[in-house]
A and B are shown apart, each in its own frame.
Chain A
Amino acid sequence: NYNLNAALDNFYNRNASPATTTTTNRKPPVKSDKRLVSLFKKYREDDEHIGIDGTLAYLEDLSITPEDPLALTLAYFLKSPRVGVFNKDAFLTIWQHYECYTITQMKNVILHVHDDILDSGNQYIDVMEDKPLTLKGMYEFTFEFLKEVENQRVLDVQTCIDYWKLLLPLVLKKVGAPVKQQVEERLDQWYEFVLEDHKKPFSFDGWCQFYLFVQDIIIKDPVAFKDYDEMQSWPNVMDEYIEYLRENGLVEGVN
């Protein structure tokens, strides 16, 4: 399965004038360890990217299943532009930064990164943008990550639900037992609502706001949503969700 167009694009991109290639004016490129380069070569699809096959192989070598949240952490950590793709630049720079040259080292770091994100330890940073890696960051990253075409503005409901189911348990890790159960129940109602009732795809704003909604409204008071107010800036879909709960007698006394 050769894609001639893609190949040609890549060829020209690679050989384009230096003015267009040196878009990175941050740090002088660090010389990559040759072990890293050879790892990249093992998985590469073309000279600049690891493709879907390479990604699957890479994950297998790391013994991470694609459904594992660790796979998402890895994508976030390596700034994967979309599902099944890693950029060479990021791959080399980031691993070089953390001095990981072998699969074992990488697996080790990823586990640490994952735990750090959940603990809000802020130990690891986005090397290229010098920002700490956070759970919220990972959540927001996921939306971009899941886009299939460049100008896509929304994600379909089912995809959203799949990834909420992957991401939100991470958010809930720190939440205590009775509340956790109540929140989980609310989330199930949310999934049902967006799938059966709302049925509209989610914009980036809606996606991001839901994270806050979970944190500020649902986890704070999963029973009565005491901090919820229609006049607050929640996107419509959340107001409709509350309305939906109220109409179905699932919540009482929310103004």
Chain B
Amino acid sequence: MSHLDSSSTRESTPSHSTTPSHLRSSTSLDIDQSTHKRKKPNHTSSTVSESVILQLNEAKNSSYAVVDIVLSGGELAHSYSLYYRQIENLCRFKHIEQSQLTQVLYDKLSTYFNTQIKPEIDRILSGENDEQTMSEFLMLFNQYNEKLRILARLFLYLDKNYLLQHSTKKTIIEYGLFLFVEYVLNNETGSNQLSRILLHKHDKLLRTQRVSNTINPVTQQLTKLLIKLHSTRTPPTFEFNLTLISKIIDHYNELKETWRCQPNYIITVFHHMNQEIGYFKTCGKDKEFIQMLLMKLRWNLIFYDFNNVIRHELPELINKPELKLLYSYCKITEADYNYDSMSIFVYEVGCFLMDEFEKVIQNSRTDGKSVIPTLVESYSFYTESLTKLGESDSLEFELRNSLSRAVNTAGNNTYIISQLCKNIDSYFKKPENFPNFEYIMIIFKAISNKHEFLMFYKKDLSKRLLLNKSNVKDEEKLALEFLAEIGESDEDSISLKVMFNDLQLSASEYPQLASASDFEFVPLVLEKKHWPSPLYEELTITLPNNFQEILDTFTTKYCELGEKFKSRKLDWNNYKLHQIIIIGHFHEDIEIQCNLLQAVVIILFNEKHNYTLTELNQRTLMDERLLRQVLDTLVSKKLVIQTEGSFKLNSHFTSKSRKIKLAMLKDKPTDMTVTMSMERNRQEEYKATIVKVMKQHEKYSMTNLLQDCLDLLHKRNPTASVHDLKACIDVLITNEYLKRQDQDTLIYIA
């Protein structure tokens, strides 16, 4: 009830108290003040009348009494304005009255605090239940604070005109709070039992709040109160904040252990950090505190064990917006903690990506999906994810590097190379399925042993070119892209250029040299050195006269072209690649597309319908295995019928489209797989390198030899390992090219 009363009276007080001052200022402030000033010395100089003393005592008593009334929560006997005026009068009467009044006020407050509030605080803080205790505590404080406010209002004059002016005196509220803070919070880090209990309870409430993830009003009020009380201390010791922060961090360190076992650690951390910071902001903590807290939280929750955190979290984070935030945090760790998290971030991203690419490669190996497009897809996906983080050369580099590492591991390298070749092959055979060859270039750039890839590529390329399986212009475009990557002066570049040049010259210059009368002849003159060697086979066969003539005539004319052509030798031996279209006269004419070897056999049937294998063998001079192969392609198309021991032309042969294309002859069965031939090439290369180094040094330590060889080889062959080199060294020692002089020294045996 007393509460209600005082508040209702409080509402009326401002108008009462301010009216006079308003009046004064609005009418004649100067005069009024001057009269006051003149009056005062009059009062003091003259002896004070008895009635005045009586009045004075009454005012004194009343003013002193009102303190007790307020503190005890009783009802005021008079209105605020009356008290106010009484106090004003009292204060204005004599200066000493002000200090006396202050002393009385202070004494009463302090007695009140000591006798009433202290035991209450002690009682409340010894309670078990944190939340209940704290809400009682808050209530106690509020009541106390309310009383201070009422006093402050009643003694506003004293506050304003005396206490505020006095540098050593505290205002009423200040003094009241001072008593409170002194008792509850003084020396909070040391011996003060109460402050320890209070702060501990506060910490416990904060903990519950963090775990339950909802804001408890009691906790929030308590935090606010603590912040307020703390700020009354001059200067506010930062230790208070430090203790708070360290307690917060302690709790998070506990929490993180459980979070670490759950997915989305970083996301959880960000969420909680956000809440924590938001909470203290609303509670009114200053910027300094907030920044410090944030910095400590980041350190403890993220960067303290960054290597593990990032390794574990990247797979979850890679395409989430939180990654960007994390990345931006990484940027400032150098300044905040003198800790270079960025390079760890970049490194781990690299490892993660490499793993991812490795997975893609392994998966496509098992499920048989085409690896190149899938790999490029995943590469583009990560390119996009990483670009979202903002421009970073190191990340870009790491991305390319991780693809390169995945592509160049000993296990994957040959697989990728052969797959890329296959892909290029299908690209040119069905270009409509592929919009561009950018994806080829992505993988090509990632391959370190480009020369090895080019070896296989050229083989495929020449096949496609010579068998007209692809568009030369497009092929050249891709080849030029490769050229741009490896440099013009590279051995492979030169031969690629020669290859296309040969084709172009053959198309533009040589047709006029061809002089076949009943025969369209398109010669291709290719420089043997630059075209992949497996195309050539030493085949000896007898060609039909007219064929042979055409070739001979062309050869003669070619040599007559000029001085430099004279010394050139034309070798027509690659018969499998000569493509011929002949017309077969059956019931209707049928166009037969075949190679020269097949044509030679078919034409023989012009003379006779039936041949034995031996006869054919004698006529063509073809190797028997090859001849059988050729015949197989004819038999399979039912162009030739095989009866016991003899071959007969199928004179009833028909074909709906009037066109048939005979199957190509298979490559030599000795043709090695990509892996095998690459393996052999590499071993030769390793041995050559070892011998080169040893020749130079004659006597050299094994360790240095290995190092030198690795350095020399690494550019071309990133997969070269100590293991491979040692195996080659072992062979060289066994075969007595090298000798071991002692444990670590090798000698080159000339």
**A interface residues with partner B (beta carbon < 8 Å):** 153-154, 203-206, 208-209, 212, 230-237, 239-240
B734 proximal to A (CB < 8 A): yes
Q: Which residues of A contact B707 (CB under 8 A)?
A: 231
Chain A, Cβ-Cβ closest to B746: A233
Known: A154-B734, A203-B733, A212-B743. A233 touches B703 (CB 8 A): yes
Q: 18 extra interchain contacts, Cβ-Cβ under 8 A, other than A205-B733, A212-B743, A236-B730?
A: A153-B734, A154-B734, A203-B730, A204-B734, A205-B730, A205-B734, A206-B734, A209-B740, A231-B706, A232-B702, A232-B744, A233-B702, A233-B744, A234-B726, A236-B723, A236-B726, A239-B723, A239-B726
B65 proximal to A (CB < 8 A): no
B722 proximal to A (CB < 8 A): yes
Q: How far, in angstroms, from A44 to B254 measured CA to CA in the complex? A: 88
B727 proximal to A (CB < 8 A): yes
Q: How far, in angstroms, from A102 to B723 measured CA to CA in the complex? A: 54
Number of residue pairs A-B, CB distance < 8 angstroms: 47
Q: How far, in angstroms, from A237 to B735 measured CA to CA in the complex? A: 16
Q: Which residues of B contact A209 (CB under 8 A)?
A: 740
Q: Which residues of A contact B727 (CB under 8 A)?
A: 236
Chain A, Cβ-Cβ closest to B734: A203
Q: Which residues of B contact A153 (CB under 8 A)?
A: 734-735
Q: How far, in angstroms, from A215 to B706 measured CA to CA in the complex? A: 23
| Pairs across A and B, CB under 8 Å, 24 listed | A153-B734, A153-B735, A203-B730, A203-B733, A205-B730, A205-B734, A205-B740, A212-B743, A231-B706, A232-B702, A233-B703, A233-B740, A233-B744, A233-B746, A235-B730, A235-B733, A236-B723, A236-B726, A236-B729, A236-B730, A237-B730, A239-B723, A239-B726, A240-B723
B697 to chain A, nearest CB (A): 14
Q: How far, in angstroms, from A138 to B386 measured CA to CA in the complex? A: 65
> Are A233 and B733 neighbours in the complex by a CB distance under 8 Å?
no
Q: How far, in angstroms, from A212 to B744 measured CA to CA in the complex? A: 12
Chain B, Cβ-Cβ closest to A243: B723
> Are A233 and B722 neighbours in the complex by a CB distance under 8 Å?
no
B511 to chain A, nearest CB (A): 57
Q: Which residues of B contact A237 (CB under 8 A)?
A: 730
Chain B, Cβ-Cβ closest to A206: B730
**B interface residues with partner A (beta carbon < 8 Å):** 701-703, 706-707, 722-723, 726-727, 729-730, 733-735, 740, 743-744, 746
> Are A231 and B734 neighbours in the complex by a CB distance under 8 Å?
no
Q: Which residues of A contact B706 (CB under 8 A)?
A: 231
Q: Which residues of A contact B722 (CB under 8 A)?
A: 230-231, 239
Q: Which residues of A contact B729 (CB under 8 A)?
A: 235-236
Q: How far, in angstroms, from A236 to B731 measured CA to CA in the complex? A: 10
Chain A, Cβ-Cβ closest to B745: A233
Q: How far, in angstroms, from A220 to B528 measured CA to CA in the complex? A: 59
> Are A232 and B703 neighbours in the complex by a CB distance under 8 Å?
yes
Q: Which residues of B contact A239 (CB under 8 A)?
A: 722-723, 726
Q: How far, in angstroms, from A212 to B740 measured CA to CA in the complex? A: 13
> Are B744 and A235 neighbours in the complex by a CB distance under 8 Å?
no
Q: How far, in angstroms, from A123 to B692 measured CA to CA in the complex? A: 45
Q: How far, in angstroms, from A118 to B206 measured CA to CA in the complex? A: 77
A44 to chain B, nearest CB (A): 35
Q: Which residues of B contact A233 (CB under 8 A)?
A: 701-703, 740, 743-744, 746
Chain A, Cβ-Cβ closest to B733: A205
Q: Which residues of A contact B744 (CB under 8 A)?
A: 232-233
Q: How far, in angstroms, from A212 to B742 measured CA to CA in the complex? A: 11
> Are A235 and B726 neighbours in the complex by a CB distance under 8 Å?
yes
Q: How far, in angstroms, from A205 to B740 measured CA to CA in the complex? A: 8
Q: Which residues of B contact A236 (CB under 8 A)?
A: 723, 726-727, 729-730
Q: How far, in angstroms, from A154 to B703 measured CA to CA in the complex? A: 25
Q: How far, in angstroms, from A237 to B723 measured CA to CA in the complex? A: 9
Q: Which residues of B contact A234 (CB under 8 A)?
A: 726
Q: How far, in angstroms, from A236 to B706 measured CA to CA in the complex? A: 12
Q: How far, in angstroms, from A209 to B734 measured CA to CA in the complex? A: 13
Q: Which residues of A contact B743 (CB under 8 A)?
A: 212, 233
Q: How far, in angstroms, from A237 to B702 measured CA to CA in the complex? A: 15
Q: Which residues of A contact B723 (CB under 8 A)?
A: 230, 236, 239-240
Q: Which residues of A contact B746 (CB under 8 A)?
A: 233
Chain B, Cβ-Cβ closest to A202: B734
Q: Which residues of B contact A240 (CB under 8 A)?
A: 723
Q: Which residues of A contact B730 (CB under 8 A)?
A: 203, 205-206, 235-237
Q: Which residues of B contact A208 (CB under 8 A)?
A: 740
